[in-house]
Structure 1
Amino acid sequence: MIAALRQRSSSLLLLLGAYFLLNMLVRLSLPASLELDEGQQLYYAQFLSLGYDSQPPFYNWIQYGVVELLGPSLLSLTLLKNLMLFTSYALMAATGFTLLKSRDLAVIATLAILTMPQVSFEAQRDLTHTVALIFSTALFFFALIRTLKQPSLGFYALTGLAIGIGTISKYNFVLIPLATLIALSLEPAFRRRLFDWRLLVTLAIAVAVVLPHGLWFLDHMEEATRNTIGKMTDEKLKTLTGQIAVGLRSLTAATLASAALTVLLLLIPFGKGVRQTLKSGNEWSRLLGRSMAFVVVMLALMVIFGGVSFIKDRWLAPSFLMLPLYIALKVEASGHWPEKALNRFLPVALVIMVLVPLALTLRVFLAGTYIEYQKQSVPYARAITAMLKSMPERPGFVLTSDQQLAGNVRLSAPDLPVGVAPGSAMMPQPLSPDRPVMLIWRDKGRPEPELPQPMRDWVNSQPGLSQQSVGQISLPYLYGKQGDLYHFSYAVYGR
């Protein structure tokens, strides 16, 4: 395998392709109960909109197209995610082979991305918009470095496309090109590229890609920022000093969670020359190193002056996507690394390639015994099928208490329009106004959950709608302990 990886770039792509195919097969073999982001994606795939919620819409748009092509299925969800992750790794491999003279180092730099838990495990477990962020970051640096090495109108345009896609993938992406712009201005070898007229093409394409969603964002600013601001701030912190201390501690923890394991595992092939590696570098390693550092600096400024007190590691991890390549560039610049570096690191990568799908599998089968029940442990399909069978007539519309539940309803009954209370502009139209409406809700699986107030308000807003029946269903968790039940409630309304 090592000889093949050294001789042909296609061998690396085949290895990565096999890994992501394995992850697809694992997800398809596990219960079809959808995770949080999976359910949200399948729910939103009913609509094509310029904006949806507090996350930008790029992943939703692509998912909508895949669902239109393949139907609302688990295959539609897992195929898109793994194709996008595979493309991200392929772009990083292309970037590594462009910058590094050593093929061994390029292979190590690509496979070392697996050492980032947020990119290897969390992205497979249940991330969507962050997967789009990983893809757009990989595309941005691929396009940027090609622009710097082989400046052409096409690469300037591709860089603009990457910036536009990144911005409508996740809003915090904008920190990456901003940090890179500062890094470029500090490197004399690259500074002149900032004064090339073709940079106007980059800006024009980026603006053109962002503009449709940007106009929606301006009209829905409170809706688009409310959840994100709520996640990044803590109203319980009463003093500025306390907020800054908590924020900087959170930033430090997120930085370590994103980078520490990668650095430690790269000591396996490169550990003996650490001192020489730290002293070495070139214009490319300085560019990448400064880009990562300036992202952290900007986040620190947001903590100190912007009131940010909480930063999740998965928000920061894509900013460190170039860390393995940065280290490989410094190692190559030092001129000293073991000839068998790839021999030492490949087993590490292969072990991770086995552990990730294994962990994704065991977390379902061991839930309720050694770990708490997972979202995939909830018997959505059986419950939804039983509730629909209890009705004398198939409903024309289903209203649920949350988007994850709505996505699971759509997976089990793809012919039914599904809405979520409180209602929004994206509430689907019933199949027929004369057919009954079914309400389904839950309270974290607890027995006898009360009908949520937003659902009550929706019912009251519908003229002539009256309750015809109400029921509960309790089913055992999938692969759970005997006697452990998950509870749903449902009601049927008609005119």
Structure 2
Amino acid sequence: MQALAKRNVLILISVLAIVGIAFMKVTPELEDSEQAYLTQWLQWGYNDQPPLYTWLQYGFNQIFGLNAFSFAFLRALVFGASLWVGFGFYRKVADANPDKALFALLLWVLVPTLIDWTFRRLSHTSLMNLSVLATYWVLFLLMKKRNLKNYLLFGLVLALGMLSKYNYVLVLASFGIGTLVDKRIAKVIFHPKMLLSVSVALLLCWPHFNWVLEYRHLIGERVAEKTAGSGWPVVSTLLSYLSAFLKMVWPLLLFLVWYFWKQRQRPVKRAALIIAYPLFILFVVQAVVVLVVFLFMGIQKVETRWLLPLFLPFVPVLITAMKIPVEKYIPKFYLIFLLVIALQFLRTPVEKVFGIPSAVHYSFKPLHQHLQQHYPERSWLFFDITYAGNIRLLDKQKVVGTYDDFLLSEKHLKWPRVKVITKYAHTPEWGAPTDSITEFGRFKETVYLIDETTEVK
């Protein structure tokens, strides 16, 4: 019961901290700016990301308004739900031991990217964290009891994952390969009732899948831009993958090294680990699947946050691999977790006091006032979604556009309009700047405004 109470306190404090952090910023983070722009419309898809998070944000905006609280509250609830689901899943793996489940949850604090990015920025990835944890939880429920209720629930979490982030398919691929090496996984996946799960998932995802088929080339181009790099393809992918993984878990690895050195204890034999937990098999399979897919796609730039959802379900493996007296370490890690939350909460005001550069300290009001004063009747078209989202937050009734949106041609922005850009090229298609704002924002950029009174054919 004490473990449950501590989990609930973590959830409550995390939610309050995430919401509080949002009100300390002059300007929202990139992801919130993106959502401010995208939630102008309800669509079956949005650029190169699945639509579920934006759908949820659209609903929150309708209830709470288009403001910092709406964006932060959704992110806070998703993280809080991840803590709740993670605890439930870890408890299932740890033979219903709440202390082991809580300790596994507290180990999240040794994954810097998770706390830092989730508290301040992550949207789609945070939702996928929740989706993957829920998927593994239901998978383990099915290993115990393969009934209609659990298979229906499995279909729902499959849909949740596929509508959260596209790399969720890597989780499904690991399940498929896992059936070849573990009978318990195979019994779940190849059971006739799995047809119910697949049917539910396809029914819920079908409209978005149709949208993806229609815009697959544009989505592919956008993904290629984000993952492009330089160097030898295979070597660059391997190094980037390894580097991203180490950046994600280096404090955790240091803790493991310290613990093994202190205890002079070897981990549980691999055979015993595999027999006890099919989760270990899925961890190995998924690590290989992700690497193979990255190599096949020629991805040379792997972001640390991409690996987060694929790693979190396997934290209980560490509890199995070490004979840790969790009751002894829980108070220490609980205090560390609360301390890290406090540091995250204080980070923004500390940056401001000490003059540490950050985009969230620079207001878009000067640009908005300039547009309102000189171009009130024009449609406003931006080359950057960050600009578009921030301006919409300041002018909620104004419909804005951005060239970052590959569906821009379908938005039908009214003419005349003004283009707002930060990198001007002297080309006939762009036209000549009619106005500019110098030294704008953190990077002291020159913002060029091009007034288009008639549509350029």
Distance 1:202 1:338, change over 3 A: closer
Structure 1 residue 76, shift from structure 2 partner: 1.8
Q: Supply the distance in 2 between the matched residues of 1:36 and 1:47 (Cα, whole angstroms).
A: 19
1:442 matched to 2:422? The reply is yes
Provide the secondary structure at the position in 2 that maps to 1:56.
coil
1:356 matched to 2:344? The reply is yes
User: Contact 2:22/2:28 (CA < 8 Å) preserved in 1?
Assistant: no
Aligned to 2:449: 490
Q: Supply the distance in 2 between the matched residues of 1:274 and 1:350 (Cα, whole angstroms).
A: 30
Aligned to 2:307: 316
Which residue of 234, 240, 250 corresponds with 1:250? 240
User: Contact 2:422/2:447 (CA < 8 Å) preserved in 1?
Assistant: yes
Aligned to 2:143: 148
Aligned to 1:120: 115
Aligned to 1:381: 365
Structure 1 residue ranges, 4+ long, deviating more than 6 angstroms after superposition:
267-271, 451-454
Structure 1 residue 14, shift from structure 2 partner: 2.6
Provide the secondary structure at the position in 1 that maps to 2:420.
strand
Aligned ranges for residues 28-427 of structure 1 at < 5 Å?
Answer: 28-31=23-26, 33-100=27-94, 101-234=96-229, 236-237=230-231, 242-265=232-255, 272-273=262-263, 275-279=265-269, 282=273, 286-331=277-322, 334=323, 337=325, 339-366=327-354, 369-370=355-356, 373-391=357-375, 394-395=376-377, 397-421=379-403, 425-426=407-408, 427=410
Q: Supply the distance in 2 between the matched residues of 1:338 and 1:269 (Cα, whole angstroms).
A: 12
Distance 1:60 1:401, change over 3 A: same
Provide the secondary structure at the position in 2 that maps to 1:277.
coil
Structure 1 residue 319, shift from structure 2 partner: 0.7
User: Contact 1:268/1:345 (CA < 8 Å) preserved in 2?
Assistant: no
Structure 1 residue 388, shift from structure 2 partner: 0.9
Distance 1:68 1:21, change over 3 A: same
Q: TM-score, normalised by structure 2?
A: 0.88
Structure 1 residue 8, shift from structure 2 partner: 5.3
Provide the secondary structure at the position in 1 that maps to 2:434.
strand
* Alignment-mate amino acid for residue 488 of structure 1: V
Aligned ranges for residues 448-459 of structure 1 at < 5 Å?
Answer: 449=424, 456=431
User: Contact 2:233/2:300 (CA < 8 Å) preserved in 1?
Assistant: yes
Give the RMSD, CA atoms, in angstroms: 3.0
Structure 1 residue 93, shift from structure 2 partner: 0.9
Provide the secondary structure at the position in 2 that maps to 1:214.
helix
User: Contact 1:50/1:212 (CA < 8 Å) preserved in 2?
Assistant: yes
Structure 1 residue 192, shift from structure 2 partner: 2.3
Aligned to 1:461: none
Provide the secondary structure at the position in 2 that maps to 1:321.
helix
Structure 1 residue 217, shift from structure 2 partner: 1.2
Cα deviation 1:381-405 (Å, max 9, x = unaligned) = 23212431345xx325221122111
Distance 1:169 1:226, change over 3 A: same
Q: Supply the distance in 2 between the matched residues of 1:411 and 1:73 (Cα, whole angstroms).
A: 7
User: Contact 1:396/1:416 (CA < 8 Å) preserved in 2?
Assistant: no
Provide the secondary structure at the position in 2 that maps to 1:127.
coil
Structure 1 residue 338, shift from structure 2 partner: 5.8
Distance 1:278 1:88, change over 3 A: same
* Alignment-mate amino acid for residue 353 of structure 1: I
Distance 1:339 1:94, change over 3 A: closer
Q: Supply the distance in 2 between the matched residues of 1:304 and 1:471 (Cα, whole angstroms).
A: 46
Q: Supply the distance in 1 between the matched residues of 2:139 and 2:188 (Cα, whole angstroms).
A: 10
User: Contact 2:47/2:405 (CA < 8 Å) preserved in 1?
Assistant: no
Cα deviation 1:442-487 (Å, max 9, x = unaligned) = 24xxxxx56887755xxxxxxxxxx9x9333346757xxxxx8554
User: Contact 1:269/1:344 (CA < 8 Å) preserved in 2?
Assistant: no
- Where in structure 2 are there 5+ consecutive unaligned residues? none
Q: TM-score, normalised by structure 1?
A: 0.82
* Alignment-mate amino acid for residue 441 of structure 1: I
Q: Supply the distance in 2 between the matched residues of 1:229 and 1:62 (Cα, whole angstroms).
A: 27
User: Contact 1:441/1:451 (CA < 8 Å) preserved in 2?
Assistant: no
Structure 1 residue 229, shift from structure 2 partner: 2.3
Cα deviation 1:176-199 (Å, max 9, x = unaligned) = 122133335423344322332211
Structure 1 residue 137, shift from structure 2 partner: 1.0
Q: Percent identity?
A: 21
Q: Supply the distance in 1 between the matched residues of 2:327 and 2:8 (Cα, whole angstroms).
A: 23
User: Contact 2:352/2:361 (CA < 8 Å) preserved in 1?
Assistant: yes
